[in-house]
Amino acid sequence: MQHGADVDVLVIGGGQAALATAYFLRRTGLSFRLLDAEQGPGGAWRHAWQSLTLFSPATWSSIAGRQMAPTPGYPTRADVLAYLSAYEAHYAIPVERPVMVESVTRDGDRLVARAGDRRWAARALVSATGTWRNPYVPSYPGVGAFRGEQLHSAHYAEPGHLAGKRVLIVGGGNSGAQILAEVSRVADTTWVTQQPPAFLPDEVDGRVLFDRATARWRAQQEGRVPDAPAGGLGDIVMVPSVREARERGVLRAEPPFERFTADGVAWADGRTAPFDAVIWCTGFGPATAHLRSLGIVGPDGRVEVTGTRSKQCPGLWLVGYGDWTGAASATLVGVTRNAKAAVDEIRETLE
């Protein structure tokens, strides 16, 4: 077993949540290290589809300490990758990669991360692995008999290989709408959503959504029931590609189908349709398999937390997984507040 250098704080992850946490750790005097499973900077953004567009201007798409360079429109995947890479280099953040942490265990007053025959020990550990490695695909009768291609949005890159095909896109969120808008330019598409898709007004973008999340967070902190916003936090943002798809009449959704057939799907009313490919835009679960060795991960992949701190494993914090670890914590602009809160608690605990 190879022993990495022991540190005060280990951060597992290398994306926006891990970098925001590292930014605040730099200001504490605590020793720390990031363990990142990727080959280079950028976290899950390295795997996003090539045409992905953010919902907010660059000034509202930045993490602590360093603004993303302004762009003519909303930033693209390439803009985010360049920003995160430059951020990591600017702050000389200590990252080891590629390191796929397989387990975390307790050894006395330390938490120990293991990857193959390597181990790292720390007094505190921050899990910031996000969700990309745990894509969710719902179960449908007959799916095993379907002969067409299936891929999740986690592994969709661009529509070229789908040109001229019949493509079923499942999922009513922003990923479903953006991928539908792109694929529908080259393929015959059908969009299936669990509920009729809800579209935000054209002028509403991520700035408004972050304000809503902040208002909800403040209400929770004060023990109030937050006011219901006009439009849901998960509603579809009308970025330019989605507005263009609306002009083409593409944003029409079918209700859920009942089962797969060998060459397509069938609805409960007896209708059937053939498809060559299915793209699942059905979300993700927390990528927390490395924490199962601690015995604290629930069936849904979540860990019970107070704020961002594990209730059952006091030396463990979780940052960036979504609202259960902090309002808007899975977003670039929203993770700063949660990363700072976690580091403040770590500093108080260790010092």
Q: CB-based contacts of 342: which residues, under 8 Å, 6+ apart? A: 21, 24, 126, 307, 308, 309, 317, 319
| Domains, the chain, with CATH or none | 2-133+284-350 (3.50.50.60), 143-199+236-280 (3.50.50.60)
d(CA 304, CA 324): 9
d(CA 280, CA 170): 5
pLDDT of residue 85: 98
Q: In whole angstroms, how far apart are CA 295 and each of 15, 77, 301?
A: 25, 36, 11
Other C-beta atoms closer than 10 Å to the C-beta of 257 total 20
pLDDT of residue 233: 45
**C-beta separation of 279 from 169 below 8 A:** yes
pLDDT of residue 60: 78
What is the model's pTM?
Answer: 0.89
Secondary structure (3-state) at 168: strand
pLDDT of residue 56: 81
**C-beta separation of 176 from 169 below 8 A:** yes
Q: In whole angstroms, how far apart are CA 247 and each of 3, 243, 244?
A: 58, 6, 5
- In the chain (351 residues long), the average pLDDT of successive 10-residue segments reads 80 98 97 98 96 85 92 91 98 98 96 96 98 96 96 97 98 95 98 93 67 55 55 71 95 96 97 98 97 97 97 96 90 92 97 85
pLDDT of residue 228: 52
Other C-beta atoms closer than 10 Å to the C-beta of 314 total 12
